[in-house]
Amino acid sequence: MSRVAVVIDGLLVQAEPDWTVLEAARSAGVEIPTLCHHERTGTEGICRLCMVEVAGRMEPACATRVRPGMVVNTRGAAVEQLRRTVLELVALETNVEYDDELSGWMEEYGADPTRWGEPLAGRRQRKPLADNPFFVREYDKCYNCRRCLDACGEGIQGVWALAFTGRGAEAGVTTTFDLELAEAGCIFCGNCVEVCPTGALVPLEELRAAKGGPS
Ligand code: SF4
Ligand code: SF4
Ligand code: FES
């Protein structure tokens, strides 16, 4: 199939017809920050961090297919303002200080969560869940990107041990009926840990090594 010509930040890009704007941008070396997108999961359009401007409208780069003649701007005042706000809201709801990449974006976009008031309780106060011999779930560091849910269910493993519950700052990942992972059907494949972008799912081996104990 013939390629699709699009212009991204002034660069002419010949994209494959099934590419997203994100894929086209990356093929041209244009970086767009992402949270929910992962090449092994079907998560897209959730976090809104990858928004770009297309003909005066904001569209999520990870969930928008290339169209012939498309002109995309990945920077500019409106895009940057939107990304700044998304980052601020993430930081209000989540303990982000452990995430160097996100902290770097916050600096780059001048994000200041304090302009919205005090950090929200809810997810930030969730206690670590150590209910299995393989990994700990530290949901106070979770961005609700849902990569783990997709990896566990439809996207990779087909187990559906994880579930999403609650609203607003209380919304978050859990298991069906809040069961312990094994009871919820987890087979400890590790796919959720592998796709988690934040360190919210931590292999016990890593924790032991960090504390200088036996692995
Ligand atoms: S480790 Fe368990 S919860 Fe994680 S993806 Fe595999 S089956 Fe699902
Ligand atoms: S635990 Fe990780 S992968 Fe799952 S929603 Fe939270 S940040 Fe995303
Ligand atoms: S990375 Fe595109 S919406 Fe999350």
Tell me: the pLDDT tens digits for 42-94?
999 999 999 999 999 999 999 999 999 999 999 999 999 999 999 999 999 99
The boundaries of every CATH 3.30.70.20 domain in the chain are 122-210
- Does residue 153 register a pLDDT over 80? yes
- How far, in Å, is the centroid of ligand 1 from the Cα of 152? 5
Atom of ligand 2 nearest to the CA of 196: 3
CATH 3.90.79.10 is the classification of domain 122-210: no
| Ligand closest in space to the Cα of 48 | 3
The Cα 155–Cα 17 span in angstroms is: 22
Is the pLDDT at 215 greater than 80? The verdict is no
Which tokens sit at 72?
């995309």
**pLDDT mean over 176-195:** 95
**Does the pLDDT of residue 139 top 80, yes or no?**
yes
DSSP state of 209: H
Q: What CA–CA distance (Å, rounded) separates 82 from 10?
A: 21
CATH fold of 4-75: Ubiquitin-like (UB roll) (3.10.20)
Rounded Cα distance between 106 and 15, Å, is: 30
- For a substitution probing ligand 3, which of 20, 36, 64, 90 has the most ligand atoms within 8 Å of its CB? 36
25 CB near ligand 3 (under 6 Å): no
Query: Which of 43, 134, 159 to mutate for ligand 1's pocket (most ligand atoms within 8 Å of CB)?
Result: 159
| C-alpha torsion sign, points 51, 52, 55, 56 | positive
Which one, of 96, 123, 104, lies nearest residue 198 by Cα?
96
Q: What is the pTM assigned to this prediction?
A: 0.93
pLDDT range class, residue 213, cuts 50, 70, 90: low
Say if residues 64 and 20 touch (Cβ distance below 8 Å).
yes
Probe residue for ligand 2, chosen from 148, 165, 192 as the CB with the greatest number of ligand atoms within 8 Å: 148
Residue 46 Cα to ligand 3 middle (Å): 6
Would you say 9 and 26 are in contact if contact means Cβ atoms under 8 Å apart?
no
Whether 158 contacts 50, CB under 8 Å: no
Predicted local distance difference test score (pLDDT) of residue 214 = 56
Question: What average pLDDT does the segment 171-187 reach?
Answer: 94
Q: What confidence tens digit (pLDDT) does each residue in 117-128 have?
A: 999 988 889 999
pLDDT at 210: 82
The answer to whether the CB of 140 falls within 8 A of the CB of 94 is yes
The model's pLDDT over 107-116, given as tens digits with 9 standing for 90+, comes to 999 999 999 9
Q: Average of pLDDT values for 125-135?
A: 94
Pairing type for strands 71-73 and 51-54 reads antiparallel
Ligand with the closest atom to the CA of 195: 2
Q: Which of 126, 150, 133, 121 is nearest to 200 (CA)?
A: 126
Rg (CA), the chain: 19
Q: Is the pLDDT of residue 211 over 90?
A: no
Per-residue confidence (pLDDT) for residue 168, from 0 to 100: 83
Instruction: Return the percentage of the chain with pLDDT > 90, whole number.
Output: 87
Rounded to an integer, the average pLDDT of 168-186 is 93
Band (pLDDT 50/70/90 cuts) for residue 98 is confident
The boundaries of every CATH 3.10.20.740 domain in the chain are 4-75
